[in-house]
């Protein structure tokens, strides 16, 4: 037992001694290593883009939607909002790749390990060389030279417990093809049928089971058309997705199966697109009647009366 204790102490002391020597060697190398000096000068000449990561992951608590929606559908939907940033990142990666080949060739010319000028090197040359190579490798730039987006869709239960998942990797050329098809549109509608169907599938999938039950509760667990409280209640988009509607709380209603089938994807008389209505609606001050103006706060936007400070009415953005 005593022998093991003594061996443990010796091992700890040896480890600290080795770390002390390593630190001293690193200080020496940073000051005198010709390889590190040449690499540092080279790194100042080459600047590479720090490209952001656009990998995506999204959970679904509805098995039907999970099975129906492909990773490509979800990517297409997200590129509607991120295409400018993604295209910029793809361009940055290509510029990195163009410069990286030249950089690698010049890095090879910097590898002159063991050259420290006229200064005498410390003892244990093998340890010094090993430390020099590690510092050199650590200082070599490794920019992102290939662009891809990994899309992962996860199936969970309503309590967000993991069940299974599916994943797909998309390269730059495929992503650019999707973005090109997204540019072919008329108003809010996409002319490419595959793109349009992808967007519609993902939009329907935004109606999670949690949101579904919230809509049922809001509507009193009854059909909004016939008033029946049946077992075949369904969620309906007031303004259909096929007409540009969204899966938002104010665009969803509870219908029984029969009423939902009769309504189909028609726009009923008086129905409006809530998204468009919010954009067009004007808000008026309840105190003085002036048209409210949109302001930028520290954390979010809000509406304020233009008659400030005489009228100090404000309200959150709707």
- Quick one: DSSP state of residue 292? P
CATH (domain of 258): 1.10.30
Q: What is the DSSP string of 176-196?
A: HHHHHHHT-EETTEESSHHHH
Candidate from 1-15, 113-127, 242-256 with smallest mean pLDDT: 1-15
Question: Given its phi and psi angles, is residue 264 left (phi above 0), alpha (psi -120 to 50 degrees) or beta?
Answer: left
Q: Do residues 214 and 158 share a domain?
A: no
Which of 224, 74, 230 shows the shortest CA–CA distance to 154?
Answer: 74
Q: Do residues 240 and 308 share a domain?
A: no
Q: Do residues 177 and 218 share a domain?
A: no
Tokens linked to 197: 């169907």
Q: Which domain holds residue 292?
A: 282-316
Candidate from 107-121, 182-196, 272-286 with smallest mean pLDDT: 272-286
User: Does a structural domain hold residue 88?
Assistant: yes
Average pLDDT (99-108) is 94
Q: Do residues 34 and 154 share a domain?
A: yes
Q: Do residues 176 and 125 share a domain?
A: yes
Q: Do residues 173 and 26 share a domain?
A: yes
Q: Do residues 25 and 64 share a domain?
A: yes
Question: What kind and span of H or E run contains 136?
Answer: helix 125-139
Number of H helices, E strands in the chain: 10, 10
pLDDT interval class at 280 (50, 70, 90):
very low
Summarised one tens digit per residue, pLDDT across range 123-174 is 767 777 888 888 889 999 999 999 999 999 999 998 889 999 999 999 999 9
Give the whole-angstrom CA distance, residue 243 versus residue 130.
66
User: Does a structural domain hold residue 65?
Assistant: yes
Sequence-ordered list of residues with C-beta below 8 angstroms from that of 187, at least 6 positions apart, any chain: none
Number of domains in the chain: 3
What is the predicted pLDDT for the residue at 103? 95
Give the whole-angstrom CA distance, residue 244 versus residue 238.
11
Parallel/antiparallel/unpaired status of strands 293-296 and 233-237: unpaired
User: With 70 as the cut, is the pLDDT of residue 60 above it?
Assistant: yes
User: Does a structural domain hold residue 7?
Assistant: no
Give the whole-angstrom CA distance, residue 207 versus residue 223.
18
Q: Do residues 288 and 168 share a domain?
A: no
Tokens linked to 244: 């540009």
Q: pTM for the complete prediction? A: 0.74
User: Does a structural domain hold residue 13?
Assistant: no
E strands present in the chain:
56-60, 148-156, 162-171, 185-186, 189-190, 233-237, 252-256, 293-296, 301-304, 314-316
What is the predicted pLDDT for the residue at 16? 44
Give the whole-angstrom CA distance, residue 148 versus residue 47.
21
Give the whole-angstrom CA distance, residue 299 versus residue 301.
7
Summarised one tens digit per residue, pLDDT across range 209-229 is 988 998 899 889 999 888 888
SS3 label, residue 249: helix
User: With 90 as the cut, is the pLDDT of residue 49 above it?
Assistant: yes
User: With 70 as the cut, is the pLDDT of residue 279 above it?
Assistant: no
Summarised one tens digit per residue, pLDDT across range 2-21 is 666 566 665 655 554 555 55
């Amino acid at each position: 037992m005593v022998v093991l204790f003594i061996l443990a102490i010796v091992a700890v002391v040896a480890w600290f001694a080795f770390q002390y020597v390593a630190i001293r060697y690193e200080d020496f190398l940073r000051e005198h290593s010709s390889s590190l000096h040449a690499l540092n000068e080279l790194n100042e000449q080459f600047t590479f883009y720090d490209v952001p990561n656009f990998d995506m992951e999204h959970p679904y608590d509805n098995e039907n939607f999970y099975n129906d929606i492909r990773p490509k559908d979800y990517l297409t939907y997200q590129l509607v909002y991120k295409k400018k940033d993604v295209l910029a990142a793809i361009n940055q990666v290509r510029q990195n790749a163009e410069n990286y080949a030249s950089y690698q060739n010049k890095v090879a010319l910097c590898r002159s390990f063991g050259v420290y000028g006229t200064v005498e090197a410390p003892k244990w040359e093998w340890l010094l060389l090993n430390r020099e190579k590690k510092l050199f490798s650590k200082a070599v730039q490794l920019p992102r030279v290939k662009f891809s987006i990994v899309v992962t869709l996860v199936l969970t239960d309503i309590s967000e417990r993991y069940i299974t998942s599916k994943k797909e990797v998309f390269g730059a050329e495929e992503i650019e093809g999707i973005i090109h098809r997204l540019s072919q549109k008329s108003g809010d509608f996409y002319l490419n049928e595959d793109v349009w169907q992808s967007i519609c599938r993902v939009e329907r999938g935004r109606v999670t089971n949690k949101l579904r039950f919230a809509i049922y509760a809001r509507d009193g667990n009854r059909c909004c058309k016939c008033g029946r409280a049946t077992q075949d209640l369904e969620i309906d988009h007031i303004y259909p997705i096929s007409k540009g509607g969204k899966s938002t709380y104010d665009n969803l209603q509870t219908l029984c199966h029969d009423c939902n089938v009769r309504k189909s994807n028609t726009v009923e008389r008086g129905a409006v697109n809530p998204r468009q209505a919010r954009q067009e609606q004007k808000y008026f001050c309840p105190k003085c009647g002036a048209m409210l103006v949109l302001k930028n706060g520290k954390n979010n936007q809000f509406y304020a009366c233009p008659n400030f400070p005489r009228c100090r009415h404000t309200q959150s953005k709707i």
